[in-house]
Amino acid sequence: MLIYSLKRLLLAILVAITVSFISFSLLFLAGDPAIAMAGEGATDQDIENIRQLYGFDKPVLVQYFDWLLRAIGGNLGESFYFKTPVVHLIAEHMPVTMTLGAMGITFALSLAVPLGVLAAIRPNSIIDRIALLISVSGQALPSFWFALVLVVIFTVTLGWLPASGSDTWLHFLMPTVVLSYYAAPAFMRLTRAGMLDVLGSDYIRTARAKGLTTKSVFLKHALRNAIIPVVSLAAVQFGFMLGGSVIVESIFALNGAGSLAWESIGRNDFPTVQGLILVFALIYIVLTFLADVLNAWLDPKIRIG
Amino acid sequence: MTNIVEVENLRVKIPVSAGMLNPVRGLTFEIKKGETLCVVGESGSGKSLSAFSLMKLLPKIADISADKMQFMGRDILKMSPSELQNMRGNRMAMIFQEPMTALNPSYTIGNQLVEVLRRHQNVSVKEATERAIYLLEKVGITAAASRLSQYPHQLSGGLRQRVVIAMALMCGPDLIIADEPTTALDVTIQAQILHLLKELQEEFEMAILLITHDLGVVARMADRVAVMYAGEFVETGTAEQVFKQPVHPYTQGLLSCIPVPGKTARGSRLGSIPGIVPSLIGDMRGCAFRSRCPHANGACHNNVPLEKWSDDHFKRCVLDDTALTSIAKEAIA
Ligand SMILES: Nc1ncnc2c1ncn2[C@@H]1O[C@H](COP(=O)(O)OP(=O)(O)OP(=O)(O)O)[C@@H](O)[C@H]1O
Ligand SMILES: [Mg+2]
C-alpha cells in the first residue's frame, strides 16, 4: 500500500511539473507578452522596459524556473486587470467554486448511486427505465439550456429561487442541480453495471446461501464491491465539475473562480488565467492521486498485497 | 431413522430462447438424519440445479415445482422469503465448488464467519468469534485466531475451502449441501477435505447431500447413491448395492470409466460412454439414455418409471429382470 501510494505520488508530481510547464508557456501563446502587457498605444521603449522588468529577455528555461520558484513561494504574479496579486484573486474566488463543486458531487452521488442500485436490483423495471431516461437526457441536454429551463420555472414563474449571486445557500441550489445533472448519469451507469456484475458473482450466491437478508446481500456484500470504481470516478468528476463550473457560474452570476477565469480570458488578463489553470490542474492532480489511494485502500488485494 | 428431507417429483423448468429447458425432470428422494446421499452424474445432468432447488436459490426465471418438498417436516415451496432466509445457512448450509470465488474479497474471514451466526442467533460478536475460532481449528486451520483478520486472497484454495466449510458449520446445520466441494482442489487436498467432512458429519450428526461426478468420491463418502442422467435418477440404492450390483446400463457405463488397480490392465483403454446427452428442451418421451445404451430396444421409446429392483435399490430401465441380471453379472465380471 505504501509503495503503491509512493509510486502514485511520484507520478502525480511528474504530471504536476508537466502541467506547470504548459501553464507557464501559455503566457507566450498569444505572442509577445510584453506587447500584451504594455497595452495599446505603448511606445517601443515602454515595451522594452516591461520586457526587462519581467525578465522576458532571459532564456525561456531560466524564465520558467524563476516563475516556478515564485509560484511555489505563492507568487503567481499580478493581474494585468486588477493590479492585485493573482493569488489573492484566486483565494477570494475559490471558496464559491469549491462549495459549488462539493455540493454538485454530493448531490450527484446521492441521486445516482441509489438509483443505480435500484436499477440493478430490478433490471428492465420501471425504475431501471427512469434511470436510463435521466441518464440519457443528462448526457444529451446542454447544461446552459437546462439552467435556463430551471430559471424559467423556479425564478420567473414560481419566484422561489434567486437566479444570480452567491449570497445564501438558496443561490447555490440551481447551479448545484445543473452541475450534478451532468455528472450523475456516469455515476448511475457505473453503479448499475458494477452491481449487475457483482450480483452474478459466486460470493453473492454464498451470501444468499448464508440466509443473509436481502438488504445485507445488496448493500454489504454487493454495493461494497460495486462502489470501488465509482469512488475513483467521483474524484475525477469533482475535478471536472470545478472546470465545468465556468459555464454554470457565468449563467448564475456566481462570483467564483470559474467566472473569474471566463472574464479574465476576455480581458486578456494572462497572469490570472495562467494562475487559475495552474491551480485547477493541481487540484485535479491531487484529486486523482487521492482517488487512486482511496481505491487501493478499498480493495484489500492492493491494500494488503 | 427420521427423514430430514423428503422430495417427490421435483421438476425445474427454465425458459431459454430455443424453448422450455427441463433440466430436472421428476426427482424423488429422501435424506435421513446423519446420512450422506451422493448424487452422481455427468456434467449438465442437473445435479447443481437440484441441489439449489432445495434452498430455492435458483435464478428467478427458473420454475421449481414438486408434489412434495419438505425439509424437517416443513414445505420448502410454501415458505415465505423470510422463512427461507431463516432456514438458509442456519438449518441447511451450503459448500460450493469454487473456493477461490465463494468468499467476498472485501471482508475478512472473521467478518464473514461471524456474520452468519449473528444473522441466525442472538449472540454477541465475542461469542460468535469464539465459535469461529473453534470451527476454524476443527477444520484444521492452524493459528485460527490470527486468520480471522485475513482476507480471502491471502489464503490458498485448500484453506479457503476449509473456511467455507467452517462457515457452513457456524449454526450447526442439520443438512449440508456440498456441490462438488473438492473438484477445484488438488488430489491430496481433496482427500483431506473429504476426510474432514466425514469426521465433522459424525461429530455434529449432520446429513450431507454430496454432489459429484467423481465415483471415487462417492465410494469414500456415500451411504446412499443416486445416479443422475439427463435430469432424472436412473438408479438409486445404497453405496454397496450401486457399486457391487449396478443394474442400469448407464451406471455400469460410469463404473467402467474408472480404472480398478489390479483389474484394469496397464495401458488398456478406459471405458467411456459413446454418444452425447440428449437435448432437454421440450417434452421428452422414453428412456433418455437409449441413444447411448448398448442394450436399447423398441420398448425404450416408452416412458419408464423408477422401479424397485431389490430392497432400497431402484432402477429406471425397461429391460426385464433376467436380461438385467445377466447384464449386471457381465458388468461386474
Ligand atoms: N440459468 C440457467 N439458464 C439456462 N440453462 C441453465 C441455467 N442453469 C443451468 N442450466 C442448464 O441446466 C443443465 C443442468 O445444469 P446443472 O448446473 O444442474 O448441471 P450439473 O449436473 O451440476 O453439471 P456440472 O457437473 O457441470 O456442475 C445444464 O444443461 C445447464 O446448461
Ligand atoms: Mg454443477
Mutate to test the pocket of ligand 1, among B48, B57, B58, B218 (most ligand atoms within 8 A of CB): B48
DSSP letter string over A114-181? HHHHHHHHSTTSHHHHHHHHHHHHHHHS-HHHHHHHHIIIIIIIS--S-SS--SSHHHHHHHHHHHHH
Q: How many helices (H) and strands (E) does chain A have?
A: 15, 0
Confidence grade of residue B333 (pLDDT, cut at 50, 70, 90) = low
In this structure, what DSSP letter does residue B272 have?
-
Better-predicted residue by pLDDT, A114 or A232: A114
Which of A136, A146, A153 has its CA nearest to residue A244? A146
Query: What's the distance, Cα to Cα, between the start and end of chain A in Å?
Result: 7
User: Which residue has cell 470501488?
Assistant: A228
Q: Which value, to the nearest 10 degrees, does the dihedral of the CA atoms of residues B250, B256, B258, B263 take?
A: 160
Give the pTM. 0.84
Residues with beta carbon < 5 A to ion ligand 2?
B 48
Q: Is B132 helix (H, G, I), strand (E, B) or coil?
A: helix
Atom of ligand 1 nearest to the CA of B50: 18
Spatial distance between the Cα atoms of A103 and A97, rounded to a whole number of angstroms: 10
Residue A61 has a CB neighbour count (10 Å cut-off) of 9
- Can you say whether the dihedral through the CA atoms of A180, A185, A187, A192 is positive or negative? positive
Q: CB-based contacts of A125: which residues, under 8 Å, 6+ apart?
A: A119
B128 neighbourhood in chain A, CB within 8 Å: none
State how far Cα B97 lies from the chain centre.
Answer: 11
SS3 of B214-243: the string is CHHHHHHHCCEEEEEECCEEEEEEEHHHHH
* Average pLDDT score, chain B: 89
Residue nearest (by alpha carbon) to ligand 1 atom 25: B43
Residue A249 has a CB neighbour count (10 Å cut-off) of 25
Q: What is the CA radius of gyration of chain B?
A: 21
Residue nearest (by alpha carbon) to ligand 1 atom 5: B14
Q: CB-based contacts of B113: which residues, under 8 Å, 6+ apart?
A: B128, B132, B135, B136, B148, B163, B166, B167, B170
| pLDDT reading at B269 higher than 50 | no
Tell me whether residues B106 and A213 touch, CB distance under 8 A. Answer: no
Does residue B97 line the site of ligand 1, with CB under 6 A? Answer: no
Number of residues written out for chain B: 333
Question: Contact, A176 vs A103, CB < 8 A?
Answer: yes
| pLDDT reading at B271 higher than 60 | no
Q: What are phi and psi of B18, to 5 degrees?
A: -85, -5
Q: Is B19 helix (H, G, I), strand (E, B) or coil?
A: strand
Please report which ligand is nearest the Cα atom of B179.
Answer: 2
Burial of A6 (0-12, 13-18, 19+ CB in 10 A): exposed
Condensed to tens digits (0 to 9), the pLDDT of residues B18-74 reads 889 999 999 999 999 999 999 999 888 999 999 999 999 998 899 999 999 999 999
Confidence grade of residue A305 (pLDDT, cut at 50, 70, 90) = low
Which of B173, B208, B175 has its CA nearest to residue B194? B208
* pLDDT confidence of residue B1: 64
B:76-105 residues touching chain A, CB 8 A cutoff:
81, 84-90, 93-94, 96, 98, 101-105
Better-predicted residue by pLDDT, A253 or B28: B28
The vertex-B137 CA angle with B135 and B140, nearest 5°, equals 110
Confidence grade of residue B268 (pLDDT, cut at 50, 70, 90) = very low
Spatial distance between the Cα atoms of B208 and B227, rounded to a whole number of angstroms: 16
Average pLDDT estimate for A120-130: 88
* Average pLDDT score, chain A: 86
Confidence grade of residue B151 (pLDDT, cut at 50, 70, 90) = very high
Residue type (1 letter), B312: D
Please report which ligand is nearest the Cα atom of B15.
Answer: 1
Condensed to tens digits (0 to 9), the pLDDT of residues B323-332 reads 777 777 776 6
Does residue B25 line the site of ligand 1, with CB under 6 A? Answer: no
Q: CB-based contacts of A26: which residues, under 8 Å, 6+ apart?
A: A270, A273, A274, A277
B96 neighbourhood in chain A, CB within 8 Å: 202, 205-206, 209
Does residue B281 line the site of ligand 1, with CB under 6 A? Answer: no
Residue B111 in grid coordinates: 467478518
Average pLDDT estimate for A209-224: 94
ipTM of the complex: 0.88
Spatial distance between the Cα atoms of A186 and A184, rounded to a whole number of angstroms: 6
Does residue B102 line the site of ligand 1, with CB under 6 A? Answer: no
Mutate to test the pocket of ligand 1, among B17, B42, B49, B180 (most ligand atoms within 8 A of CB): B49
A-chain residue closest to B171, CA distance: A210
**HSE-CB for B293 with a 13 A CA cutoff:** 26
Spatial distance between the Cα atoms of B285 and A21, rounded to a whole number of angstroms: 79
CA of B230 to the centre of ligand 2 (A): 13
State how far Cα B113 lies from the chain centre.
Answer: 23
Q: What are phi and psi of B281, to 5 degrees?
A: -90, 130
Name the CATH topology of A88-257: MetI-like fold (1.10.3720)
Tell me whether residues B167 and A203 touch, CB distance under 8 A. Answer: no
Spatial distance between the Cα atoms of B297 and B275, rounded to a whole number of angstroms: 17
Does residue B45 line the site of ligand 1, with CB under 6 A? Answer: yes
Condensed to tens digits (0 to 9), the pLDDT of residues B90-145 reads 999 999 988 889 999 999 999 999 999 999 999 999 999 999 999 999 888 999 99
Residue nearest (by alpha carbon) to ligand 1 atom 31: B44
Does residue B212 line the site of ligand 1, with CB under 6 A? Answer: no
A214 neighbourhood in chain B, CB within 8 Å: 81, 85
Tell me whether residues A203 and B98 touch, CB distance under 8 A. Answer: no
In this structure, what DSSP letter does residue B36 have?
E
Which of A201, A214, A194, A197 has its CA nearest to residue A295? A194
Pairing, β B175-179 against β B92-95: parallel
Q: What are phi and psi of B289, to 5 degrees?
A: -90, -5
In this structure, what DSSP letter does residue A223 have?
I
State how far Cα A253 lies from the chain centre.
Answer: 19
- Can you say whether the dihedral through the CA atoms of B105, B109, B112, B116 is positive or negative? positive
CA of B213 to the centre of ligand 1 (A): 13
| pLDDT reading at A182 higher than 60 | yes
**Nearest-CA distance A7 → chain B (Å):** 23
Does residue B231 line the site of ligand 1, with CB under 6 A? Answer: no
